[in-house]
Structure 1
Amino acid sequence: MRQIGKTILRSDGFQNVASAIVERWLRFTWTSNAEVDESDDPVVLDGHWPAIFALWHGQQLLSPYAAPENISFKSLVSRSADAEINARVIERTGHGVIRGSGGRSARAAAKKGAVGATKAICDALKDGYSIVMVADISKGKPRQAGEGIVRIARLSSRPIVPIAIATSRYHVLQNSWDKTTINLPFGKRCLKIGQPIYVATREEEPAMRQKVTEELDRVTRDAYRAVEGAK
């Protein structure tokens, strides 16, 4: 029975229906949350496009709706079957998808398509697309920027822009490794944008990983403080 259930959940028909429902729910959640005055305007990034937008795992569900209408985006999504609905949801928002992810070792990264994804991301940036990706590695240490994002920034010569999106009403999945946050409607929302981070050399990568981690932590704290204090 378990195998039958898995087959149904991963079927094309189920994935299409589920992604349509999820996308409508997320869009409704975005529009039903009023933006607070402390929310940042993407105009502050003029001169830094295209860019690599970094979020923490479990905090990225509303990111497609925060994108400026005049900027083209592609999002990095894992190649795993479990991430298929995520990919379809993003495509329904009008954004492109690149499949692949990093790993905690070179072998794991290769298995997950990291090399192909890195090339696809660099090509997309060269073509003028901005990229959305999570900074921490799936099932790795949460809230710690991985090597992949800073390597891509160096290879592409494009900046990493840490961002955070928070709503005043939300539910945290406490049993998930990344404490996934389910945003809820009828509250307040805030987008916080960090300082663009450029990576010039391989030697800079460890320091820039730490900088990305610290800046992502800061904007995430600021976003939640803004919505929690909103009237």
Structure 2
Amino acid sequence: MELKKQVGYEAAKLVKDGDIVGLGTGSTTLHFIERLGERVKEEELDIMGVPTSYQSFFLARDLGIKITTLEENDVDLAVDGADEVDPDLNLIKGGGAAHTLEKIVDSSAARFVVVVDDSKLVDKLGKMPIPLEVMPAAYRVVSNRLRDMGGVPSIRMAERKDGPVITDNNNFLLEVAFKEIPDPKFLEKELNSIPGVIENGIFSGYVDEVLVGTQEGVKVLKKD
């Protein structure tokens, strides 16, 4: 938790007065938003946030960060977490079931910065299953298509309610495991080509830099 707080606070330093900021979702981004709220009060920053989930919306609102949307403003800087980061800065996201709006906001930003602790760094993507937001009516046919592609799909079940996880967009969340992911960019497109899939959790080619919390301090990874 301390590493997550360390890197979240470091990312908050990147925000400048007047910025429109994409507010990611998850435990590490929570620290970023909290510190950003403190800066708004301490420095009277004139910024606005574009939330990627109800979680980030409610947190930002309660901290006094003004809210806006992509309909109203372009995003200068988006800060978000990740579940896996490979050496090419490709990501798997979706642990918080918010990857659809996260991908929309993060990919639209002039600068997209990822915040993680060093446990999220992997040699290759695929240690965790890939989340897919799927229309409920398409659950069975999407699952069959994923099996045809060599994947092992399962529906994510809720922990504190009966039945499946329902996303902020009122869809199901499938998770599909593959033995290997040799080409994340190709698989990202292939998964999104399945009718009924709203969006998948592979983020290939979107990231500008990654801030990594380590015991030795914050490490910065950038695209070559």
Question: Normalised by the size of structure 1, how large is the TM-score?
Answer: 0.31
More strand by percentage: 2
Give me the TM-score of the superposition, normalised by structure 2: 0.31
Higher helix share: 1
